[in-house]
Amino acid sequence: MRMWMVDPKILCRKHLLGEHVELHMLYGSIIRGRYKHTEKWNKLVSPAELHERHCGLVEEMESRGYNHKSPIDAFPDDYVPPKGDIDDSLGDLMGRCKECRDRNK
């Protein structure tokens, strides 16, 4: 599970849709009380930014003509999501995916 936290416009189809699915999985884990914020996850995800990130991904998905029918609700009032300190995701992504590199030009 990972939040790339880069401009969604540079994500290839695979990474855009993949991150969207993973955000839903993260949200479900949090709501069911199965998510434990650790130092390892702190570098990969930031639950505090989940809703805003989801909105950005959805906006990009819709601009590409994809249908979106899976909104994410706000967290319950008694949950204070932790903020992650995500490492250099852009550099990692550019090293992994030629399609994302091409979109970033």
CA-wise closest residue to 87 among 14, 1, 5: 5
Q: What is the DSSP letter of 76?
A: P
Residues 59 and 8 sit within 8 Å (Cβ to Cβ): yes
101 confidence band (pLDDT: 50, 70, 90): very high
Residue 38 has what pLDDT? 75
What average pLDDT is seen over the chain? 91
38-70 pLDDT, tens digit per residue, is 777 788 888 889 999 999 999 999 999 999 999
Q: What is the DSSP letter of 6?
A: S
- Predicted TM-score (pTM) of the model is 0.89
- Determine the average pLDDT of the residues in 12-29: 95
Residue 93 has what pLDDT? 93
pLDDT at 79 over 90: no
For residue 89, the one-letter residue type is: S
Q: Token pair for residue 81?
A: 């999501």
Gap between the Cα atoms of 88 and 13, Å rounded: 21
**Cβ contacts of 60 within 8 Å, gap of 6 or more:** 8, 9, 11, 16
With pLDDT > 70 as the criterion, what percentage of the chain qualifies? 100
Q: Token pair for residue 35?
A: 């998510």
Cα of first residue to Cα of last residue in the chain, in angstroms, is 26
